[in-house]
Structure 1
C-alpha cells in the first residue's frame, strides 16, 4: 500500500482532515479525501469506491464515525481503519448499532427543510473537546447540514470480514459511547485505544498521521502506535 483514502463522518467535511493530509503528504504519501453528503449511504459509498479504484493499488482507507458504514461497503481495499466509527454487520446500519450520546442528541438541531445540523457552539465540546480552543472553533465552523436517512443505510457488503482492519477506540469520546466502540472493535483484526475525544484528526493530527504511516509500512511484529489502554 502506498495511498490513503480518508472518509469523513456525518456533518463533517473533507477540510476537517486538512491537518492530517498535510502531514501525510509531507512524507510523500498519496492522500485522497472524497466528499460525502450525497444523499444516501449507497451514493456516498459509490463516491468513495471511485476514489479507491483510482488509486492504482489497494489503499489504506480510514472511516470516521458514519464513515465506517461507508468503508464497510467497499472492495479493493488493502487495510480498513475504523476511527471511532461504525462497523455494521449484515442488515445493520449506524442507527441500529446506536451509541450516540445524550450530549450529541441535544446538540442536533432540526431544520425546516428536513435536514439537521449540529449547533456549532455545542460541537466544540461534543466533537472537539480535547483540541486547542482555536482549532476546535475552526473545526466547528466547517460543519455542514445533513440530509436525513444516511445513518439508516445498510452496507451491501461487509469488507471487514475479508480485509485486514484496525479499530481505534476513542476512550474520551462524547459523541459515540466508547463502550459501543469497544463492542464494534471486536469485529476488526486489531484494536488500539486512544485517550482522545471523537475527532483526533483535529486534536492530535500528528498522532493520526503517524499511526497511518505505521500501517502503510509496518515493521515486523510491531504495532503502528502505542495503545493507551
Structure 2
C-alpha cells in the first residue's frame, strides 16, 4: 500500500517553519508531509476566532484523502483546532463517500486533547493563561516575549538556537483562545499521545490530566501514550527520534488496516 502522508499542524505563535527539521527527516525516509499555515497565528488583523484554522485544516486534508491515507500530527494549541476539524474525514467515513484515502492516525505532541465544548478561556477574559502570555484586549492578540520563549517552548534547546527560533514567533489571535471545540476526532480515529516530560512541569501535569479526562469521558481511541524526555518542541530538539516514532506509528496503523 502507498505510504501515508503526514499533515503537520503547528501550535500557537508559530508558523510552518517550525517543522523544517522534521520535514527533512521524514523526506529522507521517503515520507511526504504537508505543513499548512494556520491563520490564527500571525494574521494582521488578527482573526476573530479559530474558524479559519479549522477551514484550512479541512481543506488541506479533504484534498489529500481523495486518494491518500493521512496521519495528522498536532502540536500544542492545534490539538483543539485539529481535533475539531476532522469530522467525517476518518477512513471509514471517507470510504463511505467513495474516497480511496482517509485519516488513519492522530498524533498529539504536548497538545490539547479535549472533548467537545471545550473553551480555553471564557469570552472576553485571559483566564487560564500563564503569565508569559501577554494579552492585548484592544488589539486582540496574545504575544510571548523573547525572554520567555525558552521557558515556554524550547526548554532543551541551546540559547543560540533559541535566539534564532524566536525570530519566527508571531502574535496569536486572542479570539482563538475564546473559541469552542465542536468535535473530538480522538474518539473515532486511532490516537497516540506524545508526552514531553521535560516540558514545563505545569504543562506536563496539564497534559496528563487532559489524557486521563479524555479516556474517562466515554468513547475514545487513545491507544498509546509515549513519554519522552524532551521539552515542548521535540520536532526541533529531537527530530530524528520524532521521525522514527511517527513512522513506527504510521506503519502500525497500516498493518492494522491490512489485517
TM-score normalised over the length of structure 2: 0.76
Q: What is aligned with 1:15?
A: 17
Partner of 1:34: 36
Write out per-residue CA displacement over residues 49-99 of structure 1, whole angstroms, 9 at most, x where no aligned residue. 111122232300011111100111113221111110001212112347xxx
Structure 2 partner of 1:127: 153
Question: In 2, distance between residues paired with 1:113 and 1:194?
Answer: 38
For residue 31 of structure 1, report the CA deviation from its aligned partner: 0.4
CA distance in 2, matches of 1:175, 1:47: 32
Which segment drifts farther, 6-15 or 114-123? Answer: 114-123
Number of residue equivalences: 216
13-22 vs 196-205, greater mean Cα deviation = 196-205
**What's the CA shift for 1:135?**
2.2
Q: Which residue of 2 aligns with 1:70?
A: 81
Q: Does 1:79 align with 2:93?
A: no
CA drift of 1:165 comes to 0.3
Give 1:57's match in structure 2, choosing from 61, 68, 82. Answer: 68
- Root-mean-square deviation (CA, aligned residues, Å) is 2.4
**Aligned counterpart in structure 1 of residue 133 of structure 2, from 108, 117, 142:** 108
Give the unaligned 5+ runs of structure 1.
97-101, 222-229
| 1:63-212 matched pairs, under 5 angstroms | 63-73=74-84, 74-75=86-87, 76=89, 77-95=103-121, 105-111=130-136, 113-174=139-200, 177-186=203-212, 187=215, 188-212=222-246
CA distance in 1, matches of 2:104, 2:148: 36
For structure 2, list consecutive stretches of 5 or more residues without a partner in the other structure: 41-46, 90-102, 123-127, 216-221
- The structure with more radius of gyration: 2
Cα distance per residue 1:116-166 (max 9 Å; x no partner): 211012102321020133222222211100121212222221111110001
